[in-house]
Chains A and B, each alone.
Chain A
Amino acid sequence: MSLEEDLARPRWKRWLFNRFVLVPGGIGIIAIVWNAWVFTHNHGTVAGRVVDAKGAPVEGAEVKLWVFNFTTFVEQASTQTKADGSFEFASNPSHNIQLSAEKAGVGRSRIPVRLYFQSEDISLKRPLQLSAAETGK
């Protein structure tokens, strides 16, 4: 596939359609698409649900958003779950966070959440399940 082999093709085609243009070009296009995706999905919303050990929604649980900072997670925001157990944070700045939920008498739970870019909008597929076992900690 050397450039000299196919002199029959027009000059501009030879300049454009060779691996030195196509491969970086492909990478460039992927980068642009990715950045477009990032810019339209970085509002920092983190949504999810809290359920108890049996799977029923928990209302009024306190949910905290922890943001990784150098070596530890620091508390960034907190909110209360609604009647259907759902919660939502509006402005998560980070890509490496933890969510904790707690309600007196029901239990508590804490899960790490990794995001592909900072402030990625996410709604958790699996709800936070409160369990009494972790209350003692």
Chain B
Amino acid sequence: MARQRRHWPIHLVLIAACFVMLVPFYWVLKTSVSGENIFSYPPSIIPRDPHLFYYVDVWYAIPFARYFLNSVVVSVLTIIANVVLNAMAGYSLTQAFAGKQIVLMLFLSCMMIPFQATIIPAYLITGKLGLLDSYLGLALPMFSTIICIFVFKASFDAVPRSLLDAARVDGLSEWLIIWKVMMPLAKAAVATNVILSFIWSWNNFMWPLIATRSQDMQTLPLGLARFISYQEDTTGALYAFCIMVLAPGILLFLLAQKEFVQGLTTGATKG
């Protein structure tokens, strides 16, 4: 009983905090299904005459499936490239070789350069490569991330040396060592890398905004931002679109919650 009395203020504060965190979602969800005129005041707290027709409107107003496909393609490209390239680079950093210090210094200093500070030349370079407005061009700048390289390196460092030597004696090439010996032992690093690169590419807005021209290449966040510019706030369809864009992210987060939290914190503390 004493425990209970001590704990209820904590619960109260935390429930209030959760309330503040969740109410914005609810407000948008409510707007997206509410049948009343969205500008009637006072706004209803519970949706009046709920219906799903705003979602139908969105589906036909914009090429949602196309945006979704674009987002998926770019994300998948990024994730695959990230895992492969970062694992290779991370593995090399566990080995001794001439010039290792220079490479490390280079990586560490690259980490200080935020992508936002490179957009103009990045745009010009991508243009020179002829990759503007293509999936590859959208994904290329995010193909390898330094934080994840170090996550891989830390996880490879933990693999016992003797295992490596044994594999070498068995005649496995370095390439096979990475994939057959190291990767199965570095599942946590792979999960971290997949989640970080997914979040970065899925939510990325600025680079697609710069690097795409045609409607066909737009990704979901871009489609969402464009949707405001021609729909303004006058319809619940915008909020239905918002929910449709958020839903996959929330679903994935709830599915792989542990991995998400772990991945993001490892990414942050290592980086």
Contacts and interface: CB of A to CB of B under 8 A. Distances in A.
Interface of A: 19-20, 23, 95-96, 114-118
B38 interface: no
B53 A114 contact: yes
A23 B250 CA distance: 13
B56 A23 contact: no
Interface string B247-267: 000010001100000000000
Nearest to A95: B56
Nearest to A3: B187
B51 interface: yes
Given A20-B256, A96-B56, 18 more contacts: A19-B255, A20-B255, A23-B251, A23-B255, A95-B56, A95-B57, A95-B60, A96-B53, A96-B57, A114-B51, A114-B53, A114-B56, A115-B56, A116-B52, A116-B53, A116-B56, A117-B56, A118-B60
Nearest to B57: A96
Q: Is the interface of B mostly helix, strand, loop or mixed?
A: helix
Interface string B235-257: 00000000000000001000110
Contacts of A117: 56
Contacts of A19: 255
20 contacts: A19-B255, A20-B255, A20-B256, A23-B251, A23-B255, A95-B56, A95-B57, A95-B60, A96-B53, A96-B56, A96-B57, A114-B51, A114-B53, A114-B56, A115-B56, A116-B52, A116-B53, A116-B56, A117-B56, A118-B60
Nearest to A120: B56
A96 B60 CA distance: 10
| Interface size class of chain B, counting residues whose CB lies under 8 Å from the partner chain | under 10
B92 to A, nearest CB: 30
Interface in B53-76: 53, 56-57, 60
Contacts of A115: 56
B187 to A, nearest CB: 10
Contacts of B53: 96, 114, 116
A22 to B, nearest CB: 10
Nearest to A27: B251
A115 B60 CA distance: 12
Query: Which of A19, A96, A114 has the most CB atoms of chain B within a 10 A radius of its CB?
Result: A114
A96 B57 CA distance: 8
**Closest 5 A-B residue pairs measured CB to CB?**
A114-B53, A95-B56, A19-B255, A116-B56, A95-B60
Nearest to A22: B255
A116 B58 CA distance: 11
A70 to B, nearest CB: 10
Interface string B38-57: 00000000000001110011
